[in-house]
Each structure stands twice: as C-alpha cells, then as structure tokens.
Amino acid sequence: MDDKWIQPPIVCDHLTKGKLLFDTKEYSFAIASFRACLDNLPAKPIINEDGDIIYTVDEIVLSTRLFILRALWKQTLLDSTTTYTDTTLDEVKAILKILTTTTECRSVLCMLAVSTIARIINGDVLYKGESVLSTKDISNMGIQACRIILDESYGNIKERRILYSIECDLYERRQGDLQSAAKSIESLLKESPKVQSQQKRLRELHIQLGLIDVVEEKAKKEASRQHKKRQRMKKKEKDSSKLDSILDTLQSDVSATLSRSPTYNFFEGLDNSQKSREKATIIDWSCIPDDIQPKFENKSKEKRLLRKRNQLESLYILLSGLVEKVSTTKESGRPIHIVDFGSGSGNSCLVFAFLLLQKKDIPCRFTLIDNNPHSVKLGKLRTNKVGLDSSVQWLCQDVSNFHESFDIGLATHLCGGATDSMMERCLLHKAAFIATPCCLGSIVFNAHENVVSQAKPGRGYGWNTNKRTSLTYPRSACFRDQITVDNYAIITRLADCSLTTGQSDNELHIKGKRFLDSDRLRLAQEANYDTSFGQLGSKIDCGPRSDVLCGICKA
C-alpha cells in the first residue's frame, strides 16, 4: 500500500490523536480515534484565511476512512491470525458509497481512495491469511472503484494504466469475463498505445476469445515474409543487372587505380614472406604478453583467432615496411606517430606497438582511438599491464574528431564510412595509410543536395551511433563524374560481404567491392599519393575481409 498517505486537515483532536497512534503502531487505538473523529465531524467545509474552500466534508470523511482502512491493513499484517475481512469490507463499502453518492468529492483524495480500494479488492495489498474477498460481489466493488476514476477521466496516465490493468484482472481472474477484460485493455491501449506488455496481454485475451487464429496468423506472416523476400530478390536482380553494366563501363578506371604503385612497393615484404611462409615466423606469438594477445570474447572461436593472427602478421609486415620508409623522410629525432583509428581494445595495434617499440631502431609513438568507452577502458588496462603507457595514448572519440598531426594511419576493419573519415584525416596530414575496410553496406550517406540516402541510419558507424558521414560520395572526383550517389549507395550494399552471405564471392559482389576500393584509392591519388591495393593473404588464411588499401604521400 502507498505509504505517502495524504494527511487530512486536522479537523479535530481525535484525528490528530489517531494519526499519532497510527505512527506509533497502536492500530486498534488509532482506529478508535478515527471513528471518534467521524462522529465529531465539522458540519461545514474547511475554509482557509482567504475564504477559499480547501476541504469539503466528504473529502474529510474519505481521508479519515482511508486512514481506518490503512490501519486495518497494517494491523492485519502485524497479526496474521486476526481476520478483519468484514470490518475492512465495511470500510470499503462506506468509501464507495461516499464516492458514488456525492458530486463534490472529486479531488486527489477521491483518486487515492478509489485506487486503494481497487488494489485492496484485487488482492495486491490485503491479508496474509485466507481471505473471503474472492466473491463476485467483492470484485464488482473493485470494478466499480476502477470505473469511478476511469469514467471520470481522473488520474495521470500511469495511474490510469494501473487501474485498467486491475480492472482487467478482476474481470479475467475473479469473474472469468474475458470479453470485459479485453475491453479494459483495449481502452488502456487507446490511451497508451505503445505499452508492449499490454499489447501482448490483449493478444492473449483475443486468442482465448477466439478472435485470433494463431495458425492462420502464422501462415499469413510466412506468406508476407516470402513475398518480401521475392520482392527483395527481384529488386536485387534488377539492381544487379543495372549495376553490372555500369561497373563494366568503369572497369578500366578501376583497374588502373588498383594497380600497384611503381614508385613504392608496399607489398614487397609481404610477397617475400608469403613465398617462404612455411619457414618464416613473422611474429613469435609466444613472446607476445598474454595481456595483449588478440582475444575474442567467445573463446571457442579458434579459427577466428588463427585468422586474426595471420592478418596481424601481414599487417605488421606492411606497417614495419612503411615505418622504415617514413623514417627516411621525416626530420630526425621526432618519433613516428602511428594512429590506429577504430582500435577496439587494441587487438591489432597493441601487438604492433609492442614489437616496434622493442626494436628501438626507429622511435615510434602510438595513438589508439575508438568511440566505444568500454573498449577504450579495456585497452588502457591492457596497455598499462604490459608497461606501454609512455608510448601509447588512448582517446575515446569519433575518428573524425582527431585533429593532431601524425605520420601513419591504420584502420583495421573500421566500420563503413568511418574508414573514409580516417582516410580524410590521413590526406589532411599527408600521413601514409593502411586500411582494411569492412561493413561497406553500412556507409550512411549524408543527405546533400540531390542526394538520396539509400542506407539505413543507425547501422555500422561505430559504437552506439547512427552518425551520418558528412563526406561526399563517390569519394573521388574521377568517379563522382561517372556515377550517381544513388547507384553508389546500391553498390555499397551489394559489395558488403556480410549482407551477401552465401554468395560473398559472386562476380558482381567482387566487382562492386573493387569499385569502392578504387574510389577510395583514387581520392588519395588525386591528393598526390602513391597507392597500392592487395590482400593480407588467402581467404582461407585471413578470412573474407582481407583486402588492404595502402597509400603514401609523394611530396
């Protein structure tokens, strides 16, 4: 029962005394005092100093009777052997009578009275022991109590929901009147349409009433699912044939862009190591501290761990080659600043930091950025445990908010358009980059002029964000002239291997993916970069997402 009882005005000494006794848990004496108060009621309403009526007599009676009801209930709780059922019932009847006969008493107190009665009748608050309150008459009283409030539009939305729900219970459980029970919930949903638990309850009542045929409903759902699937397939086929011819016309530009830079061979080390992979151990994993070993929450994913290690080995070759190359051009003494965009908890970059910092020949420092606070917290802990704090800083923020200068940008499987933000940062600071893109289907377009957003907001762009990238698509001027944003958006979905499960290596999917890769690299070329495109390894060794984009500024 509600403990925040509204204190009635002090109409007489008996009430004050009753309240005191109530507070000291002398319930039977308190009841006696309240009854004495009722016998000594003032004849007129209570009027304040300004002459306004603040309490009607009915209100005083109601509140005093509610005190009695409450005292009865508390007393019953104290002594479960005592049954006060009849007395309590009499009290409830008296209160209902006041409520149904008076037109004056329509205040907060009335609301409180009715909801309390309804709750008592519903069995929410009453007796520990056996109750005789299960008769039809009693539940009628509860329903009557609910109706007083509900018909007269009293109470706030939450209170009304409780009363509708109590009314439904009374109809359903005490009277077996499912139709009326359903009506209570229908009315509740008219006032609060989004309450899922009540929608479910109404559905169950409708099923019991035979208004919903579950078998038929299931069949309809399945038919609609199949229909939508066919529609999707049709659309996909239509898109595919349209895009196939568009991509064919772009093929020569795509191939030219993806060809490896003649000036700097990013993949030399990787090609050499792959030739002698069996013999060479690129990373001696037994020397990597356990705290920074790549880990996955689901430990059973052995295959995934093996792939990750293979990917890291290839990335490490690319990165250490690039570190050497960059060290020849930068001013001496300053450590090479490597930034890992979307680092997660450091599953990739902490291994590289550990190895490169151990070598000591080329001084490096690292910044790891992720917008997931949980990952950053974990990453900081891992960094601290292996003593890399002095050379590794962590930032919890969106990649697009990183404004420091740096020499090499890394992005391993950074989601959707965040890879484009990372590349934008690199081009701005003339930093070299290594990126293994993923989640191409979740690039979320900004609605520029003449741009129709095809992608669903809220997918893939980092932790718990539905941020749209503010970048222009297609990324490169070359392809912007040749393809519309609408078609570009369709290609992003088509190229996403996570969306084309089972057909991830079909020809069109690969064509689409190559186009997106080349668009990104073409942008870098337009900014005076040498670029190369390659793979971290075979699909068996490194998984399906092993395409890698590399670039280094020529000037």
Ligand X SMILES: C[S@@+](CC[C@H](N)C(=O)[O-])C[C@H]1O[C@@H](n2cnc3c(N)ncnc32)[C@H](O)[C@@H]1O
Q: Is 85 in the site for ligand X (CB under 6 A)?
A: no
Closest approach of ligand X to the CB of residue 402, in Å: 9
Strands 432-438 and 408-415 come out as parallel
The DSSP output letter for 475 is S
Which is closer to ligand X, CB of 38 or CB of 471? Answer: 471
Which is closer to ligand X, CB of 198 or CB of 412? Answer: 412
Question: Which H or E element spans position 408?
Answer: strand 408-415
Closest approach of ligand X to the CB of residue 473, in Å: 16
* Residue found under tokens 């917008």: 371
Burial (Cβ within 10 Å: 0-12, 13-18, ≥19) of residue 362: middle
Which is closer to ligand X, CB of 1 or CB of 305? Answer: 305
Which is closer to ligand X, CB of 347 or CB of 532? Answer: 347
Out of 71, 163, 388, 418, point to the residue binding ligand X (CB under 6 A): 418
Out of 182, 292, 414, 440, point to the residue binding ligand X (CB under 6 A): 414
Out of 18, 123, 462, 543, point to the residue binding ligand X (CB under 6 A): 462
Out of 33, 76, 165, 372, point to the residue binding ligand X (CB under 6 A): 372
Q: Is 185 in the site for ligand X (CB under 6 A)?
A: no
Task: Give yes or no for a contact between 273 and 534, defined as CB atoms under 8 angstroms apart.
Answer: no
Q: Is 375 in the site for ligand X (CB under 6 A)?
A: yes
Which residues is 551 bridged to in the sheet? 433, 531
Q: Is 348 in the site for ligand X (CB under 6 A)?
A: yes
Which is closer to ligand X, CB of 344 or CB of 474? Answer: 344
Which is closer to ligand X, CB of 462 or CB of 474? Answer: 462
Q: Is 59 in the site for ligand X (CB under 6 A)?
A: no
Q: Is 4 helix (H, G, I), strand (E, B) or coil?
A: coil
Distance (Å, whole) CA 61 – CA 37: 9
No. of helices (H) and no. of strands (E), the chain: 19, 9
Q: Is 461 in the site for ligand X (CB under 6 A)?
A: yes
Of 418, 375, 377, 383, the residue nearest 400 (C-alpha)? 418
Which is closer to ligand X, CB of 370 or CB of 541? Answer: 370
Give alpha helix (H) positions in 343-494.
349-359, 373-385, 418-428, 477-480, 485-494
Closest approach of ligand X to the CB of residue 338, in Å: 13
Query: Could you tell me how many residues of this chain bind ligand X (CB under 6 A)?
Result: 20
Q: Is 64 in the site for ligand X (CB under 6 A)?
A: no
Distance (Å, whole) CA 284 – CA 158: 63
Out of 313, 370, 407, 424, point to the residue binding ligand X (CB under 6 A): 370
Of 264, 258, 546, the residue nearest 412 (C-alpha)? 546
Stretch that binds ligand X, among 59-67, 88-96, 249-257, 370-378 (CB under 6 A): 370-378
For 231, list phi and psi in degrees, rounded to 5.
Answer: -60, -45
Which residues is 55 bridged to in the sheet? 46
Q: Is 343 in the site for ligand X (CB under 6 A)?
A: yes
Total residue count of the chain as it appears in this document: 555
Closest approach of ligand X to the CB of residue 160, in Å: 42
For 109, list phi and psi in degrees, rounded to 5.
Answer: -60, -40
Q: Is 412 in the site for ligand X (CB under 6 A)?
A: yes
Stretch that binds ligand X, among 4-12, 164-172, 337-345, 476-484 (CB under 6 A): 337-345
- The shares of helix, strand and coil residues in the chain, as percent rounded to the nearest 5, are 55, 10, 35
Closest approach of ligand X to the CB of residue 550, in Å: 16
Could you give the angle at which helices 13-23 and 57-78 cross, rounded to 10 degrees?
30
Closest approach of ligand X to the CB of residue 386, in Å: 17
Closest approach of ligand X to the CB of residue 346, in Å: 8
Q: Is 62 in the site for ligand X (CB under 6 A)?
A: no
The DSSP output letter for 324 is H
Out of 362, 463, 471, 486, point to the residue binding ligand X (CB under 6 A): 463
Q: Is 415 in the site for ligand X (CB under 6 A)?
A: yes
Q: Is 344 in the site for ligand X (CB under 6 A)?
A: yes
Distance (Å, whole) CA 542 – CA 551: 21
Tell which positions 381-410 bind ligand X, by CB under 6 A: 398-399
Q: Is 313 in the site for ligand X (CB under 6 A)?
A: no
Q: Is 367 in the site for ligand X (CB under 6 A)?
A: no
Strands 392-396 and 364-370 come out as parallel
Which residues is 215 bridged to in the sheet? none
Distance (Å, whole) CA 358 – CA 299: 29
Could you give the angle at which helices 302-329 and 349-359 cross, rounded to 10 degrees?
50
Burial (Cβ within 10 Å: 0-12, 13-18, ≥19) of residue 83: middle
Closest approach of ligand X to the CB of residue 461, in Å: 6
Closest approach of ligand X to the CB of residue 382, in Å: 12
Which is closer to ligand X, CB of 174 or CB of 413? Answer: 413
Stretch that binds ligand X, among 34-42, 269-277, 339-347, 495-503 (CB under 6 A): 339-347
Q: Is 257 in the site for ligand X (CB under 6 A)?
A: no
Q: Residue 502 corresponds to which amino acid?
A: G
Task: Give yes or no for a contact between 369 and 336, defined as CB atoms under 8 angstroms apart.
Answer: no
Q: Is 474 in the site for ligand X (CB under 6 A)?
A: no
Peptide bond before 193: cis, by omega within 30 degrees of 0? no
Stretch that binds ligand X, among 12-20, 158-166, 179-187, 461-469 (CB under 6 A): 461-469
Which is closer to ligand X, CB of 150 or CB of 432? Answer: 432
Q: Angle at CA 299, nearest 5°, toward 466 and 546?
A: 55
**Interface residue list for ligand X (CB under 6 A):** 342-344, 347-348, 369-372, 375, 398-399, 412-415, 418, 461-463
